[in-house]
Chains A and B, each alone.
Chain A
């Protein structure tokens, strides 16, 4: 699985968009970009994933650069409940494939 690089921490004002970057310069053609988050004392929660097109769901948007070497997770209107560790993971899309977590980005949403 390709390695990812994320900033250690970020702050965001409540109600503003939170943009979390991720570098994955060694990503392979068959690897997807996945995002999970972990709120304190809970298990990780799936957010979104994509291959090369931008993706949006009820939680977030995922923007992947054309060369696929980096991506940005966007939380359009961050709330205090979005304070969490956000993990960017690249992996092959197949059933049962393990997740390789890095250190992630601590996002602090402030009022």
Chain B
């Protein structure tokens, strides 16, 4: 089992550009959540996708959007990048039913640097 995989691992973008980050969930998981982690802080919840729809959203502007595909993989899109968007972006997957376990499994993250 490959676990949660994210791509790319590192990315450098210029202010004003747009970026797309990708996530493949752990086998058997159908729910994908995205988190932003600034340097020295804990991860902050961005949003969650289930059944190809956004189910929950944190306190992030509309520049942050996402998508979930029928195979449960997901993308995070950020438009009009700001310097403050520089962070580690984490994807977490979890199951929606069965197994008695609810804990989320995280990927290694994508390190985004905006210059």
Contacts and interface: CB of A to CB of B under 8 A. Distances in A.
Interface string A40-68: 01111110010000000000000000000
A52 B48 CA distance: 28
A102 interface: yes
Contacts of A100: 45
A93 to B, nearest CB: 6
B96 A95 contact: yes
A97 interface: yes
Interface in B87-115: 90, 92, 94-97, 102-109
Contacts of A102: 42
A95 B103 CA distance: 8
B106 A44 contact: yes
A96 B44 CA distance: 15
Nearest to A96: B31
Given A95-B94, A98-B33, A103 B102 contact: no
A95 B42 contact: no
B79 interface: no
Given A45-B106, A98-B56, 20 more contacts: A34-B103, A43-B90, A44-B92, A46-B105, A87-B42, A93-B102, A95-B94, A95-B95, A96-B50, A96-B55, A97-B102, A98-B33, A98-B48, A98-B58, A99-B35, A99-B43, A99-B104, A101-B42, A101-B43, A101-B44
Contacts of B41: 103
Interface residues of B, number: 28
Contacts of A104: 42
Nearest to A46: B103
A24 B33 CA distance: 24
A88 to B, nearest CB: 11
B108 A44 contact: no
Interface string B29-52: 001010100000111110010100
